[in-house]
Chain A
Amino acid sequence: MKRRKSFGWIFLASVFFLTALGIGVVLQHVLAPPPIYQLRIRADLGTWVLLISNVVLLGGLGILAGLWWTRRLLWESLARAQQEYARAKHRFIYRLDHEVRKHLAVLRAQIASLSDVAEEGSLETAQADMLAQVERLDRLLSQLRELAELKEREMERLPVDVVSLLQQLMETIRAYPEYARRQVRLMLPHAPWPLPPLWGDRDLLFQAFFNLLDNAIKFTRAGDWIEIRAFEDGRSVVIEVADTGCAIDPQDLPHIFEELYRGSNARGREGSGLGLALVKAVLEHHDGMVSVRSRAGQGTFFTIRFPSAS
């Protein structure tokens, strides 16, 4: 903030300084056009006084105006940022409250039904159900903490082979029963050169790609296509995860990377609402970017861009 403020000053002051200088020179020509320019400017005291007073006056005015202007801009943007922060915080607390209560409601119902269960003798099933519920809640909070810790966590900065990473991702996904009912393809470039390595934390990147692919599987039906495409264009390494599944509602689109946000088509599906937030956080950690496009009836694709390591 401070640096921007002083930049504004310097910029405005120098603009006015140059203008004043220009005006001074022009005035001098208009008032008394010299036969020999250089001689005249050295000799004439009056011209010097005119020039310097111009510079001082206009320069001073410029600095004052610049000060006032940058101050106003700063205040406005600060107020906007504060408002946005307060709104985001409120949204987050509201969603967290909703998620935690949802799990607690199940747990309460399970505890209430415990006395009936005991009579029928299936105490073990009830116990397992309650434990699973507690674990869901535990996982939700753990993942939230992981997300919060991501920025201060030790992160490896090592070359990561994207090809082997994506291949390992495919192996992991193959173990899922839904995999067999989708057409999942990994498309990698071979000519003229393979993908360059990324610079970063392999395990975090794996988790981010996994979340995207898991998301694609979750929102597709049997027979749908899922393609993972990777390529580079000289400036960035690009990885796309595209699917022919159900599209994201345009209203949800700006919010899907927010923590605990649940899109209208995600209701009734298992999920923490943190998967895409983690993707975004991991990518920001790697100076990368993620964007999404979706069309009703056609599908969705996520595009990830990393600056090339070279």
Chain B
Amino acid sequence: MEFDFFLELFLGGLTRGSIYALIALGYTMVYGIIQLINFAHGEIYMIGAFTGLIVSSVLTMAGFPQLAVVVVAACAAVIWSCAYGYTIEKIAYKPLRNAPRLSALISAIGMSLFLQNYVLLAQTSDFLPFPSLVPDFEFWDPYAHMMTSPELVIIITTVIVMILLTILIKFTQIGKAMRATSQDAKMASLLGVNVNRVVSITFIVGSATAAIGGLLIASHIGQINFYMGFIAGIKAFVAAVLGGIGSIPGAVLGSLILGWTESFFTGYISSDYEDVFAFLFLVLILIFRPSGILGKSETQKV
């Protein structure tokens, strides 16, 4: 009995952690390149979920088969999220590339506030029911009492996304350019790297992962609203910092640790203070190990 409860919490934490990881990956990529907390990242994730919901509802009403609906909705969510990510960078961050960090941060918060209220005005302030995009797999039936099929899909997707991103950064031309830009943007541009293009691509890739996350999580939870991105974004940021910001495996590791600790905390201690716990965790990490678990500690130079 005790062990069953433990296992339930463990698997719940695993799902939760994978959810955070999908958002944290985008955060960590953007932070790695331009050292900016992209507060609007959570909003991209929310926009991805909304676009997916709208497109899938329209298609379902038009009578398309389930599979086509899921594929088209997922593509639409990714495309529009990427478009938003790209545009946000051009409007709110690019003009501030050389400005003090404080300005870029304030601009990022403004963008987050703007996008939330844009969706609120354009759509609704109510919770919208989100259809379950992932069907129940037959082969998974024997294990379904421990973990549902959507949860399985979330975990597998997280692993795939992490592997793809690692390949992209480690072994491709653009990945090399990204690493160069994150080390020294000025030097990279002197050596022929188109820094603007690299930053744009980073935002697009980050937004794509956020959109996938948004779709999966929304269909797992079953409802969405305009505010869903904010707290999720902050928590994902906590996870990214915990793992060592700028590092892809670090983001996943940090997310899993956060997911498990939250799950065990709510299971064994109290569920009222779940968010309080996440923030306290963040404060403690930042005080004792600001570079995170897998991050490199850096010394400040003049």
Pair from one complex = no
